[in-house]
Structure 1
């Protein structure tokens, strides 16, 4: 009985951390939209977040005395770290900031919730043959509900924008929604139980640096140096989303790393980003309330997330 209570308590803790992470992650979508509307370069918006994160995380991990084990882990498997860090952080965030230039932050956030479905299918594919666990029918149903909600919101937005803008604002975000769980889960496999959430976040940030430096060069060629407001806003994104939210989310996934159903539920908590982002855009950008189709879509996304959580 005590063991079962501990497991349930751990899952509840992980779910709470996942929802809290969603709150801080939402700041990304709102601030990225603010920078896009004000004419900020999407390349700088993406790269600066991780350039800011690097020294912050270095100090945290150094103070905790965990730098040496991290550097040893990276050195022993450098190519894998470079590949999956660039996928999980580089491809994920570059596509997200690019998409923010073509649609409201709540729409980008809702489209990114495709990561819930992507993560559910990616998990079994990454397992070794003979150890793969089937996808829960209930989880699949709840994820379909979330996906239908996303489709409804896309239909609503399509009525007010061009087809080209829809594609540019949707396809890159969908790519990012696949890259994030793919990179995160591969790095969980590579790091195993040897590294904590702080070390893994720093390691992925450090190993994605070649990508960010290259993107910064393109940003400078296209738009020159970033503005003062963009520097400040990306620092806020780095602290709220890059450090706080990522550490909360990685901690949550680490708690249930051996339970595919619970892991899917933790990833599903990120659907709350839609609500938090919508509220943030209304308060900070004085955005109009979404229409009835969008509200129905948001409702389905949240219902799907709740069902995911309750089933686990």
Structure 2
């Protein structure tokens, strides 16, 4: 009886931590939109997050005594680390912050969930021919649900804005949604089982630095130095999303790692990002509620994400 209670209690704790992680992950979309609305340079918004994350991650990995193996892994395959870190972190986040300049944060957050569909197709392509697994019909169905939700929201948004703004707010986010799983999955292949998640995240942050430094130079040339508020807000994004949310989510998955169903339920909690982002924009930016079509679109995206997670 006590063991059953412990298992149930562990699942509840994991679900709570997963929902809390989604809340902190959502801060990325809301704060990026706040900086965009206040006129902050998207180049600085993107670059500063990773510039802030670097010393924090360095400290965490150093305290854990794992810097040596990481530096050895990077040195042994430097060009691959530089390439896929730039795609997985650089292209992903730069396009995400650029898109935040042209659309509400809830729309960016919802559109970015296209990454689930992208990851589903990228995964088999990265496998060797003899080891490739087919895509299940259920996964295709759930992906179609997500895609329909995204299309519905875009159509709804197009009625309230120009076609050019809609494209500028959508296409970069879709590119980022593809770059994120592509870069991360390639790095997981390259790193193998030799590095943990913290080491890999630090390594990718470190190897994407040339991209961020270059983007910072463009930001300075176009807009000068970042404002104090932008420095503070990007620090919050780095801590909330890059560190706290990641730690919470990893902790949640670790608690139930031996229970596939519970693990799927924890992964499904990330669907709450869209809801938290919407609430954050309404509370902090006094944004209007999305219309009925957008609400249906958000619902389809969330349902598709949950079904995807549970099927896997």
**What is the TM-score normalised by the length of structure 1?**
0.89
C-alpha distance 257-204 of structure 1, shift in aligned 2 (>3 A): farther
In structure 2, what is the Cα distance between the partners aligned to 1:235 and 1:282? 22
In structure 2, what is the Cα distance between the partners aligned to 1:218 and 1:243? 27
Moved over 6 A (4+): 1-17, 250-268
In structure 2, what is the Cα distance between the partners aligned to 1:2 and 1:129? 48
* CA deviations over 1:114-155 (Å, ceiling 9, x no partner): 101000000111111111111111111111101111111111
Task: Calculate the aligned-residue CA RMSD, in Å.
Answer: 3.4
C-alpha distance 7-166 of structure 1, shift in aligned 2 (>3 A): farther
Instruction: Answer whether contact 1:100 1:108 (CA < 8 A) is retained.
Output: yes
C-alpha distance 108-199 of structure 1, shift in aligned 2 (>3 A): same
In structure 2, what is the Cα distance between the partners aligned to 1:230 and 1:149? 32
* CA deviations over 1:90-128 (Å, ceiling 9, x no partner): 000000000000010001111111101000000111111
Instruction: Answer whether contact 2:156 2:294 (CA < 8 A) is retained.
Output: yes
The runs of 5 or more residues in structure 2 that have no matched partner are: none
* CA deviations over 1:45-104 (Å, ceiling 9, x no partner): 000000000001101111111100110111111111111110010000000000000010
The runs of 5 or more residues in structure 1 that have no matched partner are: none
The residue that corresponds to 2:291 in the other structure is 291
Instruction: Answer whether contact 1:265 1:308 (CA < 8 A) is retained.
Output: no
C-alpha distance 7-298 of structure 1, shift in aligned 2 (>3 A): same
* CA deviations over 1:5-37 (Å, ceiling 9, x no partner): 999999999887665443222101100000000
C-alpha distance 107-148 of structure 1, shift in aligned 2 (>3 A): same
In structure 2, what is the Cα distance between the partners aligned to 1:11 and 1:207? 36
C-alpha distance 197-24 of structure 1, shift in aligned 2 (>3 A): same
SS state at 2:98 partner: helix
Instruction: Answer whether contact 1:70 1:195 (CA < 8 A) is retained.
Output: yes
Instruction: Answer whether contact 1:22 1:273 (CA < 8 A) is retained.
Output: yes
Instruction: Answer whether contact 1:96 1:108 (CA < 8 A) is retained.
Output: yes
Q: Tell me whether 74-83 or 253-262 shows the greater mean CA deviation.
A: 253-262
| Count of aligned residue pairs for this structure pair | 312
Q: Tell me whether 43-52 or 137-146 shows the greater mean CA deviation.
A: 137-146
In structure 1, what is the Cα distance between the partners aligned to 2:123 and 2:10? 20
